[in-house]
């Protein structure tokens, strides 16, 4: 198994790296600030879009932070379920194409 990570401090922490090694998980390093190589960024974007599609009132909620959090906790599972039916597999299959596109673009922005 491999684990795709970014340079988030939690992913580079000594204890986390030791835990990965202990469990036989090889981290896949990629350059920092490379959303083209990080399909998870697309997944989070799609989740946000789906959430806004299902609950457009989020845009204008005028409630306490606690109440907004409670609404999100209630709404996120439904949005996540709709987004994740096929999306993660499609995104994971695009990794090879993403790397090739970044290589061809000499590290500059791509369509991803």
Each residue's pLDDT expressed in tens, for the chain with a length of 112 residues = 667 676 677 777 899 889 989 999 888 776 666 777 777 788 888 999 999 999 999 888 888 989 999 999 999 999 999 988 767 778 878 888 888 988 898 888 888 8
Short-list 5, 13, 10, CA closest to 38 = 5
* C-beta separation of 105 from 39 below 8 A: no
* C-beta separation of 28 from 4 below 8 A: yes
The pTM of this model reads: 0.62
Alpha-carbon distance of 100 to 32, in angstroms, equals 17
- Structural Rg of the chain based on CA atoms: 17
């Amino acid at each position: 198994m491999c684990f795709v990570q970014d340079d988030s401090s939690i992913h580079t922490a000594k204890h986390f790296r030791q835990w990965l090694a202990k469990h036989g998980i090889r981290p896949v390093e990629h350059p920092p600030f490379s959303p083209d190589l990080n399909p998870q960024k697309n997944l989070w974007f799609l989740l946000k879009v789906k959430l806004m599609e299902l609950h457009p009132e989020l845009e204008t909620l005028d409630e306490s932070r606690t109440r907004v959090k409670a609404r999100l906790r209630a709404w996120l599972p439904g949005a996540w379920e709709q987004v994740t039916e096929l999306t993660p597999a499609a995104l994971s299959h695009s990794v090879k194409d993403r790397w090739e596109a970044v290589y061809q673009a000499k590290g500059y922005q791509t369509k991803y």
